[in-house]
Chain A
């Protein structure tokens, strides 16, 4: 099993450009999450999904959109990137609910110039 995978691993954008980050999991987990990690701030939840076709906002949702068209995939979109969105993005998944152990992908390092 691959677990949780993310593409791409690195990306550099110019301000105003758009992009989509892809997360895939092969553990049949219901819940999926997108976090951003910034120095000294731990992990902050951007959006999450409780199942196929459903998404919800986390702590820092502004500037991001998500979609979960298939159970195994969770997409994070930036419509108009800003330098403040320079960060490392982690996808995670869990089996039952938001209190369950989360399994993380390898991360995507995004730089917005």
Chain B
């Protein structure tokens, strides 16, 4: 069965702190996406990870993919309020794409 699990589902952080969001999946995949969704808005693509060991960085966000562990991480460095949003991973399987439930991130001053 194709499963994608994100944790935590809710995350409240202080500004300036670091944290990591995890995306685990159940079956072999070598392609994974991270999206951001602001409240009441659509999903915006953040990162495309296409191979084992792929690492992408944009500002305070860094995403990585370990296909052997079936794990992707989204690391937040020195969080700021503007990063408050819901973050989704999406895993591309053989002929399917499944989304995680999302991590709702709140960054507090």
A binds B: yes
- Please, how many angstroms separate the alpha-carbon atoms of A43 and B42 in the complex? 12
- Count contacts on B: residues with CB < 8 A to the other chain: 22
Question: Which chain A residues border B9 with CB–CB below 8 Å?
Answer: 40
Question: Which chain B residues border A45 with CB–CB below 8 Å?
Answer: 97
Count A-B pairs with CB separation below 8 Å: 45
Query: In the complex, which residue of chain B has the Cβ closest to the Cβ of A33?
Result: B97
Number of chain A interface residues as a range: 10 to 19
- Please, how many angstroms separate the alpha-carbon atoms of A44 and B4 in the complex? 12
User: Does B31 contact A99, Cβ atoms closer than 8 Å?
Assistant: yes
Question: Which chain A residues border B65 with CB–CB below 8 Å?
Answer: none
Question: Which chain A residues border B97 with CB–CB below 8 Å?
Answer: 45, 98-99, 102
User: Does B31 contact A106, Cβ atoms closer than 8 Å?
Assistant: no
Chain B residues 23-58 with CB under 8 Å of chain A are: 31, 33, 35, 41-45, 48
Which residues of A pack against B, CB within 8 Å? Answer: 40-45, 90, 92, 97-107
Which residues of B pack against A, CB within 8 Å? Answer: 4, 9, 31, 33, 35, 41-45, 48, 88, 90, 92-93, 95-97, 99-102
